Amino acid sequence: MQSFIGKFLKLESSGGVILLVTSALALIFANSFLSPYYFELLNTPLVVQFGEQGIAKPFLLWVNDGLMAIFFVLVGLEVKREIILGSLSTYQQAILPVLAAIGGMVVPALVFTFFNYGDPVAMEGWAIPMATDIAFALGIMALLGKRVPLPLKIFLLALAIIDDLGAIIVIALFFAHGLSIEAMIGAGLSILVLIIMNRMRISALCAYLFVGMVLWVCVLKSGVHATLAGVILGFSVPITAKDGSSPLESLEHTLNPWSAFFILPIFAFANAGVPLGGVNLDTLGGALPLGIILGLLIGKPLGVFSFCFIAVKLNLARLPLLVNLKHIFAVSVLCGIGFTMSMFLSGLAFENAGESINTLSRIGILLGSTISAILGLLLLRASTSAPERHA
């Protein structure tokens, strides 16, 4: 298990660097002579047709609804593995990151609400500062190498996974529109087939992926966000099959590099391209971007750290080995790197609100995430000591 976690952390950290590069490219494309080509690419319509049935979406929505559904398959696999075998498998291991994640979701949402309560359109984005971008956060942490104790990295990993689960619940409850009964029945039947396959401990991944594709189409047509199909598929894959193999581990190993080096970078490139023309201190001081920036920069660390501090002081939880409260505070600031997950929630919240609101929201996410990354790195460096060198 430790070797798997080590490989996963290394992969996510490398992916964070690539996310940074693709985000910078998106900003350059969106604010240069390449801007028309960039936005034309995002709006290029793509159609998949099977007989009389088809799905027609611009490239941007294929990325957000299609590629991100594959990413959420990985999220489902990770959550299931951590709950059954990993860092969330016992009460003692799970309680601290669970409480930290709850604080890191509730307090940022309250901070955002404080600034935007009177605006019903802006209030659609209340969930935006709740998210943590695990790849970026681990990428920043990786810059300090062996200074950071492994239990602290595992704590961040567990916290971010629970954070993702919270985002999934929010998507399911608050971002469903125009529900189709027929499509929901199709989705229900697909889920039933996946449950039966899981109970039979079938090892053939191609069977799960085929049913998962049917489920994705049904969920897409149902009015519920299509990424939920990915999570359900991830949870349906068995850890151990009848033949003794591990379909979950096999699929996770397959999807990990695709997620880190292809899916999330493409998502970042498609969503981080914010036109900065006309942006000034007045626009940044508006309630929407300010609510997002302070939700990430203040709400996240306040929620994560305060819930951990109270839990430890009341003996509800214990700090991991080699980890102290200074480490926890530094990590809580890193959790303010919302980036890809915040962008994703922003796209859902303001899907029909107009480009100006989307731009303000994404600027708030980029600024809040960037400042959180810099502060988190400085605090983590200050709270950890360099490894001893042996002559």
The string of pLDDT tens digits covering residues 125-170 is: 999 999 888 777 877 887 777 788 878 888 888 888 788 778 778 8
User: Are β-strands 53-58 and 45-50 bridged in parallel, bridged antiparallel, or unpaired?
Assistant: antiparallel
Residue 339 Ramachandran class (φ > 0 left, ψ -120 to 50 alpha, else beta): left
Which segments in the chain show pLDDT lower than 70? Answer: 1-16, 49-54, 87, 176-179, 278-279, 386-391
Considering only CA atoms, which of 51, 99, 116, 137 is closest in space to residue 309?
99
SS3 240: coil
Domain boundaries, the chain: 4-383
The CATH architecture one would assign to domain 4-383 is: Up-down Bundle (1.20)
Q: What is the pLDDT of residue 53?
A: 65
The position carrying tokens 């959420």 is: 72
Answer whether 368's CB lies under 8 Å from 292's CB: yes
Answer whether 362's CB lies under 8 Å from 272's CB: yes
Q: What is the pLDDT of residue 54?
A: 65
94 vs 83: CA distance, rounded Å: 8
Tokens of 370: 């960037």
Whole-model pTM: value is 0.79
180 vs 31: CA distance, rounded Å: 40
131 vs 140: CA distance, rounded Å: 16
Burial code (b: 16+ CB inside 10 Å, e: under 16) for 291-320 equals bbbbbbbbbbbbbbbbbbeebbeeeebebb
What's the burial of 353, exposed, middle or buried (CB within 10 Å: 0-12/13-18/19+)? middle
388 vs 375: CA distance, rounded Å: 25
Residues in the chain: 391
89 vs 183: CA distance, rounded Å: 35
Cβ-proximal residues to 359 (8 Å cutoff; 6+ apart), any chain: 274, 275
The string of pLDDT tens digits covering residues 10-20 is: 555 566 677 78
H/E run at residue 238:
none
Q: Where does 31-90 have alpha helices with state H?
A: 35-42, 59-61, 68-84
Q: What is the pLDDT of residue 390?
A: 45
